[in-house]
A and B are shown apart, each in its own frame.
Chain A
């Protein structure tokens, strides 16, 4: 049984700092390959052949071995074709998948929560026709691998634009389109590659790998769903954005009405956007499509009636299956229901460290925040870095409120070799009363003075753009 008064203290933060067996070796092979992409595979040098070999060796004991060894050989000779680049991307994905699994196991040990349900049965990819758009994307990605990040120029970076424009209107291709669009914009902003001071090697190799794998028919099939009926208790809102896309994800606990065990779930809304729509404008775009954003902002639960829920724990939100319910304090949810909630398994393709976002409650810590340094939470002598940069700009939760807090709800994440916590909400004590500040408090709208100003500015910006669009697009 979980004692009521110290539910959050059960978090074993000590485990998060301990080494994980095999992790460094797997990441070293990934790094070796990532360095190969920096210089490109048009005219490979011996050092690059070595990097390719490291990747091939790392998957030598797997079913991928033969294909990756062949691909590494072809690439080292400067003769890699699409199928070879795909094999190399698959090998890199497999390594990062194993890293994900090791990290996820460690997270389960640290939170002490019930283990996720077993991996969902592998779906046979539905026989999708090979799309010409995917083929065009694949061809661009292979050109990128040949030129390398150092060989980037404006023409190459612009090559994705026609593909993205053609994909965006089709919501079934939205995953590919949003990824390629964000990736290409970064590459364009970094041209010419030859003069870059530093290259984000892990990141661009990730985006390249992911984009390439998504071009395969059936890589992102429509997931199987089951109807979910019961009470949904929001924990907090996570915001993701690049210049021309935004997604808000609400993390929540779902209590089935049939009395089944509570489950950790997410619900998302996303939209393409012009790069000048930022801050409160992001909430305005998404708000009409996800009433859960307002519920999370106001601290209310929602009743679900046969809402589609995927095996990975994603609610495919449809307003027809949801209605507002009573008040529900996220901290109460985190203290009482979260410790017994079960997370869903991760889809095979999504097994990547970046996908780790585990809701946790932290209490009884000391905040270490030196001027200009990182903010860290110290629990039982162990420190956990706080990723305050991930707090949405249009929201009341700031690094200062985290620094004053005595409890926080966050997402446990892992990047660049360490675990961090992304705050979703912080609880402070004001005149002996607990006051909670939520990162997504303005998601559904706000009466806050600064928030209202941000809302007005965003409304004006979009109105101005729509006026221009109305006049010019119809000509």
Chain B
């Protein structure tokens, strides 16, 4: 017997993102087996860092959009990676981030325990080959702001009711 959720056309599968300030970390996503995103440089407004942490191994990488390595990400997480985790927890909730990265914590996870648990395993520094695709995903994400709205009805959106349950 299937439960009601499995027989629902409008079952909620993904909770919408929780609102957060975007100035410091304009883009965060759980995709391609990584927590990845774009972090604004603290010193140069024209520069951003592309940061990522792999699920399971926590292998990390951080470099600029021009592929220069981040000076802080040597041996352990830099401030960009810490900001990435903090903002991901704001956007998706700590539980979903923990599940995706395969981090097991003793108590209810938060950004600090996630960071602590991951750095304790002394994760390896990954290569920065993901930087280009992550950055292009960020640009694709930004391009959504430029797409024209329409007043022709989209009947398919009936499958996507709004929900009060944020991530």
Contacts and interface: CB of A to CB of B under 8 A. Distances in A.
9 contacts: A268-B152, A278-B19, A285-B149, A317-B151, A390-B161, A415-B8, A415-B9, A416-B9, A464-B23
Given A270-B150, A279-B19, A416-B7, A240 B143 contact: no
Given A154-B32, A472-B48, A473-B139, A243 B14 contact: yes
Interface stretch (A64-72, A104-112, A136-144, A179-187): A179-187
Interface residues of B, number: 61
A206 interface: yes
Contact of A245 (B8, B20, B33, B160): B160
B151 A269 contact: yes
B161 A240 contact: yes
B166 A393 contact: yes
A403 B151 CA distance: 34
A446 to B, nearest CB: 16
A464 B22 contact: yes
Nearest to A157: B31
B14 A189 contact: yes
A357 to B, nearest CB: 7
B10 A415 contact: yes
A206 B26 CA distance: 33
A429 B2 CA distance: 42
B132 interface: no
Given A462-B145, A473-B143, A31 B19 contact: no
Interface stretch (A12-20, A84-92, A168-176): A168-176
B145 A179 contact: no
A203 B145 contact: no
A348 B110 CA distance: 49
Contact of B160 (A182, A267, A273, A472): A182
Given A266-B153, A317-B151, A417-B4, A203 B13 contact: yes
Contact of A185 (B14, B48, B157): B14
B19 A457 contact: yes
Contacts of A275: 16-17, 141
B142 A270 contact: no
Interface residues of A, number: 91
A202 B151 contact: no
Interface string A310-354: 000010111000000000000000000000000000010010111
Interface string B34-52: 0000001000011010000
B99 to A, nearest CB: 10
Contacts of B48: 468, 472
B74 to A, nearest CB: 26
Contact of B13 (A174, A186, A285, A352): A186
Nearest to A31: B2
A242 B17 CA distance: 10
Interface stretch (A54-62, A127-135, A193-201, A253-261): A193-201
A272 B147 contact: yes
A98 interface: no
A272 B14 contact: no
B156 interface: yes
B129 interface: no
Interface centre among B14, B17, B18, B33 (most CB of A within 10 A): B14
Interface string B57-101: 000000001000000000000000000000000010000000000
B165 interface: yes
A47 interface: no
Contacts, number: 223
Contact of A190 (B13, B40, B162): B13
B44 to A, nearest CB: 11
Interface string A151-171: 000100010010001001101
A202 B154 CA distance: 20
B108 interface: no
Contacts of A241: 16, 157, 160, 162
Interface in A434-475: 454, 457-458, 460-462, 464-466, 468-469, 471-473
A278 B17 contact: yes
B164 A391 contact: yes
A207 interface: yes
Contacts of A393: 162, 164, 166
A239 B162 contact: yes
Interface in A11-65: 27, 31
Given A392-B164, A417-B7, A473-B139, 8 more contacts: A171-B150, A247-B154, A271-B150, A276-B19, A290-B151, A422-B161, A466-B145, A472-B138
Contacts of A202: 6-9, 11
A472 B149 contact: no
A453 B163 CA distance: 20
B151 A201 contact: no
Nearest to B91: A276
Contacts of A174: 150, 152, 154
A379 interface: no
Given A169-B147, A391-B164, A200 B13 contact: yes
A425 interface: no
A200 B11 contact: yes
Nearest to B20: A276
Contacts of A247: 153-154, 157
A375 interface: no
